Amino acid sequence: MLGIVVVCLVTFVMLVFTPFFDRTITSTPDPTTTYTEAAASASEVAAAEGDEINDLCRSVVIDSGERVDRSVVLLHGFTNCPQQYSAFARAYADAGYNVVIPRLPGHGEADRLTTAPSDVGPDDLVAAADEAVDIAAGLGRDVTVVGLSGGGTLASWLAYQRDEVTEAVIVAPLVAPQAVPDFLAAPFARLSRFIPDIYLWWDGDLKEELATPPYAYPRYSLRSLGSFLAVARAAEVQDSQRSTELQRLVVVTNENDAAVSNRGVSDIEQQLEHVLSVDYDANAEVNYVFPAEDGYKHDLIDPEGENADVLAEIYAELGPLLGLDSLESYAP
């Protein structure tokens, strides 16, 4: 009996506390090379989104009808959807970018209590992010990726793996949740694959009545959270597939962030520095921190999110980092 217990304990430790059973995550680039190809691919994505998707949360492509110098991929946060970037999308389009906002797998359903996130693995997230860059490559000769929270995690991955990405803006990336010590983030990501999924409320008092923003989910799946953390882990430890250099990297953190830990962000940033060009000026790498005294909450982007009342102030700070100097004028 003791032998069985020891074997079970050793197996558990190997599964959870060592990278022995970590799965390799791989980007599979298949970039479009013309506007026509990109438009056709975007149409296929739109056609695949069924009636279960909230109309506000469908994948979005805003283009000028031709390939331009720059396109941008906007990656929404964990349990949110493309509507989170409605203001950013207008600002980028007005600045001459073609814009791609993918709906991440398991997100954006009209049923805000859906269990679809339980079926989403790290490979699904990376595949959706890859597909967005594939489309953006045909819409613009250079591709910028911008991501918040879970989207920031995916933006980090894309910047590290995809040659098409020349600029990355990573905002409050989900590397480790505040509720989980940093050293347990990787074990949690591994364990979430093997246990029954559990859903937790973002607000234990409001529960399903939480309506800020009204199109995001009021609860989150621990398994889906583990999938995002697995991508973050892969971005930290796996080798890059890039053969070209990243031209610009912007990392934004918030000292008042109660959702994600900032401590693990430096590990992601150090990895990205390995593919960042050294031939550009000091503006090639920008690390911007919102101080705690500002009091801003985690979601620094959503017009209907938790910072809606002060979003013009936040956009005024973010705009110059993104090359959108008048971004605050797009705030509600």
Rounded to the nearest 10 degrees, how much is the dihedral formed by the CA atoms of 201, 205, 211, 215? 10
**Under a CB-based contact definition with an 8 Å cutoff, are residues 168 and 133 in contact?**
no
How do strand 219-221 and strand 199-201 relate by DSSP bridges? antiparallel
**Under a CB-based contact definition with an 8 Å cutoff, are residues 101 and 74 in contact?**
yes
For residue 272, give its domain range. 2-330
Among the listed residues 101, 99, 103, the one whose alpha carbon sits nearest the alpha carbon of residue 81: 103
Number of separate domains in the chain:
1
Q: Which residues neighbour 91 within 8 Å (Cβ) at sequence distance 6 or greater?
A: 319, 324, 326, 327, 330
pTM value surpassing 0.85: yes
| pLDDT tens digit at each of 332 positions of the chain | 555 544 444 444 545 545 556 678 999 999 999 999 999 999 999 999 999 999 999 999 999 999 999 999 999 999 999 999 999 999 999 999 999 999 999 999 999 999 999 999 999 999 999 999 999 999 999 999 999 999 999 999 999 999 999 999 999 999 999 877 777 777 888 888 888 999 999 999 999 999 999 999 999 999 999 999 999 989 988 999 999 999 999 999 999 999 999 988 988 999 999 999 877 666 788 999 999 999 999 999 999 999 999 999 999 999 999 999 999 999 98
Q: Tell me the CA end-to-end span of the chain in Å, nearest whole number.
A: 65
**Under a CB-based contact definition with an 8 Å cutoff, are residues 137 and 218 in contact?**
no
Separation between Cα atoms, residue 172 and residue 160, nearest integer Å: 17
CATH number at residue 152: 3.40.50.1820
Residue 94 one-letter amino acid: D
